[in-house]
Amino acid sequence: MINSTASACGKIILSGEYAVVFGYPGIAVPSPLRVNMTFEENDRGSEIIWNGITGNDHWNTYIRKICELVGAPKGSLTIENDLPLGKGMGASTAMVVALARVFGLDRAQALAIEHQMNPGHSGIDFAVIWEEKSLLYKKGEEPEPIHLSFDLQNTTLIDTGAPNETTTELVAWVKERKEELVDALETIGTCTERIIRGEDLKRVMRDHHRAQVALGVVPKEVQSLIEEIEKKGGAAKVIGAGGRTGGGGMVLTYRAA
């Protein structure tokens, strides 16, 4: 009888959204917020018990599909979750990784499930969540652990609400318009290089945000919020896929020390 517990972190992308899908470099850090899962094999069916931030039917269906792919027997799954859901912090990948760990899958097996659950993904979320280290990520290359020269204590996350679109839909929409978006994608890739060179994060974040706006994945209200933050001398950007309508997910704000 399986009785097993495992957990996974979420992620914060500092630079690289969408650009990483096309082979430009990106930087992601693990989030202190996590999801913990405990599976207890029994014959009560396949119940899912949420504590903390609770998933809706969509999330229950998503979790059941992963359970199917990992070959989970009947049992109770308890999910203790601190990760905002569908808001750019990698919760969908964290669910894959946590469940893969509960059932003893290795990295390659977990990645195969990620491919099925989140088609079109670049691999950045999976890499940082699996490694739990700050990474420089480039598709098709071994992710490189990196040391960041600035203090993330100077950052805050603001919840702007969940977008109406899924990341898979948004990535497909950006891919369709790739030719017209080349400049913005290139700017985002360059932002990653500027962070690595040690350039002031505030300046880089402002340019990164403008490129995300050019991609069409920062809803109007979120643009206004970030404009206010910039007027007060800060910088901010959407982390993760953002959205076309609804909220833009979590926004990372930075105040220079």
Least distance (Å) between residue 171 CB and ligand MEV = 5
Cβ of residue 142: shortest distance to ligand MEV, in angstroms?
17
Does position 114 interact with ligand MEV (CB under 6 A)? The reply is: no
CB 79, CB 49: distance < 8 Å: yes
| Shorter beta-carbon distance to ligand MEV: residue 21 or 35 | 21
Of the candidates 149, 160, 139, the residue with the CA atom closest to the CA atom of residue 14? 149
Q: Which pairing describes strands 75-81 and 26-41: parallel, antiparallel, or unpaired? A: antiparallel
Q: Near ligand MEV by CB under 6 A, which window of 39-47, 98-106, 122-130, 181-189?
A: 122-130
Verify binding: residue 17, ligand MEV, rule CB under 6 A.
Answer: yes
Q: Which of residues 150-189 bind ligand MEV (CB under 6 A)?
A: 167, 171
User: Which residues lie closer than 8 Å to 20 by C-beta, 6 or more apart?
Assistant: 26, 122, 123, 124, 137, 138, 139
For ligand MEV, which is the closer residue by CB, 125 or 165?
125
Applying CB under 6 A, the span of 47-55, 121-129, 191-199, 203-211 interacting with ligand MEV comes to 121-129
Residue 64 CB: number of other CB atoms within 10 A? Answer: 14
Q: Kindly indicate which of the ranges 18-26, 66-74, 186-194, 205-213 contains the residues binding ligand MEV, using the contact rule CB under 6 A.
A: 18-26
Residue 25 near residue 139 (C-beta atoms within 8 A): no
Among 8, 9, 21, 128, binds ligand MEV (CB under 6 A): 21
Determine how many CB atoms are found less than 10 A away from the CB of residue 214: 16
Element of type H or E holding 229:
helix 220-231
What is the binding site for ligand MEV (CB under 6 A)? 13, 17-18, 20-21, 121-122, 124-125, 167, 171, 240-241
